[in-house]
Amino acid sequence: MTAPPPRLFVLTATGSDAAIVLRRGPADWVAAIGWDRATDRFGDAHWLKARLYENRADISPDGRWWVYFALKGLRPYTVVAETPRLTASVFLPQCGTYGGGGRFDASGRLRILNDALDPVPWPPILPPRTMDDVPDPLLLRGWSEERRGGYSYFSKRFKGDWWLQRSCQIPSRASKVADRLGYRLYHPKTETAGPRPFWGWADILDGRLFYAAEGCLWSARPHGDGKEVDVRCIKDFSQMRPDPRP
């Protein structure tokens, strides 16, 4: 039986060309790979055998630091590390999976999301808060949000009146985590809509459409019929194998 392709998610810095590609698979393995968006060059993979919650991870505006929440066995914890390494500069044990992770604000200050057991020993970190008190990272990256019917609909405009849209369920106070439902390309004037159920991540960066699908990171632009043209595979992550190192 052919193994399914790895799932990809990308964290992008708001004030630099730095980004981190998170590659999940096989099983409990995750890899963090640095991506220089100015050159489309990628660094070495840093591997971790744990469940890393990408929707609670974030990267600082200057791209120097990132924060992530992971569950290793029965031990949940939050880490602040240098990009894109996984080795902790700050390690915060958590009391459960309802909290954990963090968000950087526009000035680069970090807000840890709830439930940290130990005092935070790093001056840029602000007091813990819940997801409800911290703006979604998409809003700092040029997306707009509309809420209706228990769902959040995020939109970002592309060239030629095309919009990239992302929908997700509004998180409850119990879970604190929004479930991703999917992406689509939409043209309001022609009402052309193109769902993209297999995209694990997508964004418009520096006038380019990027998306993750089938274990690869792609760039493209939408055409008049709602299909992508000028499609290019920037990087194929499907053949990588776990290689743990600091």
Residue 126 lies in a domain: yes
Task: Report how many domains make up the chain.
Answer: 1
Specify whether the CB–CB gap between 23 and 8 falls below 8 A. yes
Q: Is residue 1 part of a domain?
A: no
User: What's the confidence (pLDDT) of residue 125?
Assistant: 52
Question: Does 168 reside within a domain?
Answer: yes
User: What's the domain range around 146?
Assistant: 7-236
CA distance between the termini of the chain:
32
pLDDT at 129 exceeding the cut of 80: no
Instruction: Determine the pLDDT at residue 147.
Output: 80
Residue 246, domain member (yes or no) = no
pLDDT band at 1 (very low <50, low <70, confident <90, very high): low
In a domain, 205, yes or no: yes
Residue at 176 is within a domain: yes
Q: For residue range 12-49, what is the model confidence (pLDDT) as tens digits?
A: 999 999 999 999 988 889 999 999 999 999 999 999 99
Q: What mean pLDDT is reported for the chain?
A: 83
Mean pLDDT confidence for 79-102: 89
Residue 91 placed within a domain = yes
Q: What does the pLDDT read at residue 224?
A: 64
Please name the helix (run of DSSP H) or strand (run of DSSP E) that holds residue 81, with its range, or none. strand 75-82
Residue 135 has pLDDT above 90, yes or no: no
On the 0-12 / 13-18 / 19+ scale of CB atoms within 10 A, 60 is: buried
pLDDT reported for residue 245: 62
If one compares 7 and 98, the residue with the highest pLDDT of the two is 7
Q: Is residue 2 part of a domain?
A: no
Q: Distance (Å, rounded) from C-alpha 40 to C-alpha 241?
A: 21
